[in-house]
Structure 1
Amino acid sequence: MSPLASYRRLFALSGLGFVVVAFLGRLPLAMSQLGTLLLVAGSTGSYGAGGVSAGALAVANAVGAPVAGSLADRFGQRRVVLAQSLGSAAALVALVTLALHGVDWPLQAVGAAVAGLLMPQVGPLARVRWRPMMRGMADHRRLVDLAFSYEGSADEASFVLGPALVGLVATVLAPAPALLTAAVLLAVFGTLFAVHPSALLTRRSGRGATTGAGRLFTGAFVALCFAQLSVGMIFGSVQTGTSVLATSAGVPGLTGLLHALLGVGSVVAGLCMAMVPDRIAYETRWRAFALGQALLALPLLLVQGLGSLSATLLVLGFSIAPYMITVFTLGERITPPGRTGAAMTALAATTGTGYALGSSIAGRLADWGGHTPAFAVTVTAGIFATLLAGSAAGRVQSARLRRAPAAPAPREPELALTPR
């Protein structure tokens, strides 16, 4: 079956409404960091204050996401995501209000942190719904893997479209309407995602989710978290190095567009993951895509102009989504029943933490030596990912094989997801 036919079948099973709502529901997270940076920097006249506020949002989200994922495993996604969506949307509106009234920036940073703490991780939580959604299908495993390929590409697409949307609204109007747009999208599509019938498929009993058999942070899973930390560092250092090079070239406004090239290649490669033969084990893919990241990042050390940078970022992107799809799939396969929400959000949170770490280190090195030392962080992260995959893949494979013969979870009641 061709990739197009495979995805057509997948979307027919889930319903197009689920796909659309889940994609639009994840845009606010992709929009809020840049929107906060522009809003606070504009209201205070300080990019330092804007950067701290945007960082507070990102760090708070990294802290809150696994907690929310655990609560969703215990009580179901519907109540948790609904409360998160409405609460975070209200916090974004409050942040805009503080900025427009010229409140001191530390209070704006607190408002940004509250918004980040409550912001739902729609992408990881959507992944949780696919497994029960496909239960009972003859090719259940293949469909879930296909769904994870789509979700990885959707995440990448959201982080291309989200900042672009913020930049467009901020340019035409102002930063405040851009962040208010994120709040409206969150209130509307976060709520629709929360109340979608597929949310009922994730209901779990709280007792089962906390037993010793349900332990999440095993050595294998921690290795996967570090794998996501490394790709987050790639994102953060690439954005920093790109910003430095674009600024030195006199076109700082092109930073977002150039960084988006990384996502374009990533989206294309992610969708093509459906073509990878099943006989190639995910641990083998992990090693290969990690090595690909390291090798494709090396030319960044040689770029001196925007043309060569554009080509390098586009090609590097082809290794990103396949790597992340593989890591998330392995995470899902080794996760005990009832802990999938916590697992997916934990992996997403470590990605955000890596982004903050990579951008911070790259920024300090850029102050010292320009864009090349910043891109050295990208290369180092790729090498670290390769060494990690080589050393930890065996442990992850053992954990996956131990999970494979486990008795399947009880069949959920049949639910009509969406009108066909």
Structure 2
Amino acid sequence: MSAVAAYRELLRIVGPAYVLVAFLGRVPLAMSQMGTLVLVSDATDRYAYGGAAAGVLAVANAVGAPFWGTLADRHGQRGTVLVQSLAGAAALVALVAVADATPWVPVAVSGLAGLFIPQVGPLARVRWRPIAEGAAAGRGNDPAYRRTVVDAAFSYEGAADEASFVLGPALIGVLAFVGEPSVALLVGAGLLAVFGTLFAVHPTAALTKVDRSAVPATGRLLVPAFVLLVLAQAWVGVLFGSVQTGTTALTTAAGEPGVAGLVHAVLGVGSVAAGLTMAAVPERIGYATRSLVAAVALLVLATPLPAVDTITQLVVVVLFLGLAVAPYMISNFALAGQIVPEHRIGAAMTLLAGATGIGYALGSSVAGRLADAHGHTGAFVVPVATAVLAVLTAFAGQRASRRSRA
């Protein structure tokens, strides 16, 4: 089955409405961090407070994600995501209300919002395996068909995540420009309340409720192979954070600070395009091999970054770097689906997403210090070093994943 045919099959199985709901349901998370940064910075006239609020939101979301994922594994996604969506939307509205209060207040409310905003992308991945199994049952339980559907679904989800993190900040920028920063964050809250709720109550949510009587007594989540995947996703976050910081340093030095967001969005554009092609990769090439190849591509494509001196050069390098990002992430998430016990899959997917968020905060911090001391060149050393670590982790993951499936 071709990649195009596989994507058509996904739409046939679940319908276009579900795909739209699941995509728009993840956009508020992508809007929240930059929206918080812009809102609090504008209200307090201090970037430090805005940065602190955005950072607390990101870390709270990363730390809370595995808790909500475990809850969804135990009780199903419907009630869990519904509570998260409504509480997260209310917290974003509250953040708008207290944005100009004593600085610690919006920082605290930002953390509360981050804690509740659902990780729709990872949770959507959890649904695809039972969806594929149900579709395959109508075709004589054809394993090749099931594998094709799952591969296409994970490729799409990786591309959708990248697209949401391009669209989210862009929406914040447009809405803040035509209105106020508060309007931008209120729109994010409205999207979360509507599409988060629709995602929660969609019939596919019922497929994620596990029969606890059938759950085996054994089945650890933190096996070595999965720990390596968590580390691999942390490296992706470090790369994102450091590239964004280096981009901001270069564009600011060039007298075009407002261009930073657009340049960073180019990374997402390349990643989306590459992610959609992953459904065409032959089945004989395993996920661990795909992850290793993508990690090597990250290293090769990140290596020119420290030599970049102009915005035009940076756009070209970042565009090509994006071509390795989605394949790397898609392979990691798909590999986790193979090695993690079925009744822990929600916790696994959200933990991987949380590791990406923690890595982002770490990458931004380290690259920021290097940018202060050595400019954008210093910041861009971080993604190159991170790509080396990604290759080493992927090598270790090859052997660990084989042992976990043995």
For 1:368 and 1:207, the matched residues in 2 are separated by 58
User: For 1:118-167, what per-residue CA distance to the aligned partner results, in whole angstroms no more than 9, with x for missing partners?
Assistant: 01000000000000011141211221111000000000000000000000
1:10 maps to which residue? 10
Aligned match of 2:63 = 63
In structure 1, the residue matched to 2:364 is 359
Q: What residue in structure 2 maps to residue 153 of structure 1?
A: 159
Between the aligned partners of 2:338 and 2:384, the Cα distance in structure 1 is: 29
CA drift of 1:206 comes to 4.8
1:302 is matched with 307
- 1:214, CA displacement in angstroms? 2.7
Which AA in structure 2 matches 1:150?
Answer: Y
Determine which of 185, 196, 202 is the counterpart of 1:196.
Answer: 202
Deviation string, structure 1 residues 214-236 (Cα, Å, up to 9, x no partner): 31111110000000000110000
Number of the residue aligned with 1:315: 320
Could you tell me which of 335, 339, 359 is aligned with 2:344? 339
Q: Distance in 2 between matches of 1:10 and 1:192?
A: 19
After TM superposition, give the deviation of residue 197 of structure 1 in Å: 0.3
Following TM superposition, by how much is the alpha carbon of 1:397 offset from its aligned partner in structure 2, in angstroms? 2.3
Residues 179-328 of structure 1: matches in 2 within 5 Å? 179-206=185-212, 212-328=217-333
How much does 1:2 deviate? 2.7
Deviation at 1:205, TM superposition (A): 3.9
Q: Distance in 1 between matches of 2:212 and 2:367?
A: 42
**Cα distance, 1:290 vs. partner?**
0.4
CA positional deviation for 1:204: 1.3
Query: Which residue identity does 2:89 align to in structure 1?
Result: A
CA 1:237–1:208 in structure 2 vs 1: closer, same or farther (change >3 Å)? farther
CA contact (8 A) 1:75 1:206 kept: no
Please tell me whether residue 135 in structure 1 is matched to residue 133 in structure 2: yes
AA partner of residue 110 (structure 1): A
Shift in alpha-carbon separation, 1:380–1:83, aligned structure 2, 3 A: same
Task: Measure how far apart 1:297 and its partner are.
Answer: 0.2
Q: Contact 2:127–2:208 (CA<8 Å) still a contact in 1?
A: yes
Within-5 A mapping of 1:374-389: 374-389=379-394
Structure 2 gaps, min length 5:
137-141
SS at match of 1:135: helix
Q: Partner of 1:82 in structure 2?
A: 82
Output the TM-score relative to the length of structure 1: 0.93
Normalized against structure 2, the TM-score is what?
A: 0.96
Aligned-residue offset at 1:11: 1.2
* Mapped partners of 1:228, 1:205: distance in 2: 30
Q: Could you tell me which residue of structure 2 aligns to residue 36 of structure 1?
A: 36
TM-fit CA distance, 1:96? 0.1
| Maintained 8 Å contact 2:61/2:115 | yes
8 Å CA contact retained: 1:208, 1:214: no
Superposed CA offset, 1:248-279 (max 9, x none)? 11111111100000000000000001111111
- Residue of structure 2 equivalent to 1:410: none
**Displacement, 1:284?**
1.2
Return the alpha-carbon distance in structure 2 between the equivalents of residues 132 and 212 of structure 1: 21
Give the Cα–Cα distance (whole angstroms) in 1 for the partners of residues 154 and 82 of structure 2.
23
Q: Which runs of 5+ in 1 are unaligned?
A: 403-420
CA distance in 2, matches of 1:3, 1:73: 30
Spell out, residue by residue over 1:88-110, the C-alpha distance to the aligned partner (whole angstroms, 9 max, x if none). 000000000001xx211111000
Q: 1:109-120 to 2 correspondence within 5 Å?
A: 109-120=107-118
Q: Deviations over 1:179-235 (max 9, x none)?
A: 0010000000000000000000000145666x6523111111000000000011000
Alpha-carbon deviation of 1:280? 1.1
Which residue pairs with 2:168 in the alignment?
Answer: 162
In structure 2, the partner of 1:177 is 183
| Separation in structure 2 between the aligned mates of residue 24 and residue 397 of structure 1, nearest angstrom | 36
List structure 1 segments (4+ residues) > 2 angstroms apart after TM superposition.
205-209
2:375 alignment partner in structure 1 = 370
Residues in 2 aligned to 1:379 and 1:206: alpha-carbon distance in whole angstroms: 45
Q: How many residues align?
A: 398
Match of 1:406 in 2: none
Distance across 2 between alignment mates of 1:368 and 1:307: 24
Q: Matched residues in 2 for 1:374 and 1:39: separation?
A: 26
Alignment check: 8 A CA contact 2:291 2:394 kept: yes
Quick one: structure 1 residues 62 and 208, their matched pair in 2 at CA, closer, same or farther if it must change by over 3 Å?
Answer: farther
**What's the CA shift for 1:329?**
0.3
Pair 177,6 (structure 1): closer, same or farther in 2 beyond 3 Å: same
**1:409 corresponds to:** none
Q: Residue 206 and residue 88 in structure 1: after superposition, are their counterparts in 2 closer, same or farther (change >3 A)?
A: farther
Matches of 2:214 and 2:305, distance apart in 1: 48
